Amino acid sequence: MSINLNSHAFADNPLLRSKPTDPLSPKAALQALNIRILETNTLSSSSPNFKVLPFKNSRPLASSTSDSPVPVFQLGWISLEDLKAFFENSGSQLCAEWLVYLGSSAEDDAVYWAIDVSDHSNLVTELCSREMGFVALLTLMVASDWEDLQAMRNLAIAGHAKALLEWHNISRFCGHCGGKTVPIEAGRRKQCSNDSCKKRIYPRVDPAVIMLVIDRENDRALLASRPKLIPRLWSCLAGFTEPGESLEEAVRRETLEETSIEVGEVVYHSSQPWPVGPNSIPCQLMVGFFAYAKSLEITVDKKELEDAQWYSREDVRKALTFGEYKKSQRNAAVKVEQMCKGVEKSQRLAADSNTESEELAPMFVPGPYAIAHHLISSWAFPDP
- Sequence-distant (≥ 6) Cβ neighbours of residue 229 within 8 angstroms: none
Contact criterion met (CB below 8 Å) for 261 and 293: yes
Q: What is the mean pLDDT of residues 344-354?
A: 45
Concatenate the DSSP letters of all residues of 263-314 into one string: EEEEEEEEEEEETTS-TTSTTEEEEEEEEEES-------TTT-SEEEEEEHH
pLDDT interval class at 225 (50, 70, 90): very high
Euclidean distance between CA atoms 100 and 160, whole angstroms: 11
- Once rounded to an integer, what is the mean pLDDT over residues 181-199? 96
pLDDT at 208: 98
Nearest CA to 317 out of 220, 183, 194 is that of: 220
Which has the closest alpha carbon to 279: 123, 141, 166, 126?
166
223: phi then psi, degrees, rounded to nearest 5: -125, 150
Taking residues 237-260, report their average pLDDT.
98
Q: What is the structure's pLDDT at 371?
A: 97
| Residue positions counted in the chain | 384
DSSP 198-265: --EE-PPPEEEEEEEEEETTTTEEEEEE-TTS-TTB-B-EEEEPPTT--HHHHHHHHHHHHH---EEE
Which amino acid, 153? R
- Give 260-308 pLDDT, tens digit per residue: 999 999 999 999 999 999 989 999 999 999 999 999 999 999 999 999 9
Label residue 322 by pLDDT band (50, 70, 90).
Answer: low
Q: What is the pLDDT of residues 107-152, one digit of tens each?
A: 888 999 999 999 988 888 888 878 899 999 999 999 999 889 999 9
